[in-house]
């Protein structure tokens, strides 16, 4: 069953832009939303290589050129639209996408997969 939470206004996200999203009842920042060239996506905040959070500072998920999602731990680069890793130790793997929708300028993310797939890693 879907569990939708609000992730803020699209207008405040920027294009390109990214923002970590806190989920009530969970520690840390288990997911983030990213917007680039009109594409809006949401991903679990975990590198496929180590499971570590991706951001190097709060809400800093994009590389210096705002072209790709970048893992702060080892520099892996992921495409914004589908989370596919182009470079790094997790090359050819992908970030875990979460369903996202836009309603009246507000971003909504289905976080039900976080509960189902959370192995108690403590990263989310």
Does residue 68 surpass a pLDDT of 50? yes
Looking at the 3D structure of the chain, how many domains does it have? 1
Q: What is the pLDDT of residue 117?
A: 57
59 or 124, which is more confident? 59
Does residue 118 surpass a pLDDT of 80? no
Show Cβ contacts of residue 100 under 8 Å, excluding neighbours closer than 6 positions.
7, 33, 40, 41, 42, 107, 108, 109, 110
Q: What is the pLDDT of residue 124?
A: 33
Confidence band of 116 (pLDDT split at 50, 70, 90): low
Q: Which domain holds residue 17?
A: 4-116
Specify if 78 maps to a domain. yes
Specify if 48 maps to a domain. yes
Specify if 37 maps to a domain. yes
Q: Is the pTM of this model over 0.75?
A: yes
Specify if 121 maps to a domain. no
Contact at 8 Å (CB) between 122 and 30?
Answer: no
Specify if 122 maps to a domain. no
Q: What CA–CA distance (Å, rounded) separates 3 from 54? A: 23
Q: What is the pLDDT of residues 71-107, one digit of tens each?
A: 999 999 999 999 999 999 999 999 999 999 999 999 9
Mean pLDDT across the chain: 91
Q: What CA–CA distance (Å, rounded) separates 112 from 84? A: 22
Show Cβ contacts of residue 43 under 8 Å, excluding neighbours closer than 6 positions.
31, 32, 34, 69, 83, 95, 96, 97, 98
CATH number for the domain that contains residue 36: 2.102.10.10
Would you give the DSSP letter of residue 27? S
Does residue 53 surpass a pLDDT of 80? yes
Nearest to 19 by CA among 30, 98, 27: 30
Does residue 119 surpass a pLDDT of 90? no
Confidence band of 25 (pLDDT split at 50, 70, 90): confident
Specify if 124 maps to a domain. no
Specify if 43 maps to a domain. yes
Specify if 123 maps to a domain. no
């Amino acid at each position: 069953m879907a569990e939708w939470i609000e992730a803020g206004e699209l207008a405040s996200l920027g294009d390109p832009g990214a923002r970590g999203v806190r989920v009530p009842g969970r520690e840390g920042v288990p997911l983030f939303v990213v917007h680039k060239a009109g594409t809006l996506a949401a991903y679990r905040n975990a590198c496929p290589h180590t499971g570590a959070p991706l951001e190097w500072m709060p809400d800093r998920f994009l590389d210096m050129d705002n072209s790709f999602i970048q893992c702060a731990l080892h520099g892996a680069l992921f495409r914004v639209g589908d989370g596919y890793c182009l470079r790094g130790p997790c090359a050819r793997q992908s970030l875990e996408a979460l369903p996202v929708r836009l309603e009246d300028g507000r971003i909504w993310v289905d976080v039900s997969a976080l509960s189902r797939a959370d192995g108690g890693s403590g990263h989310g």
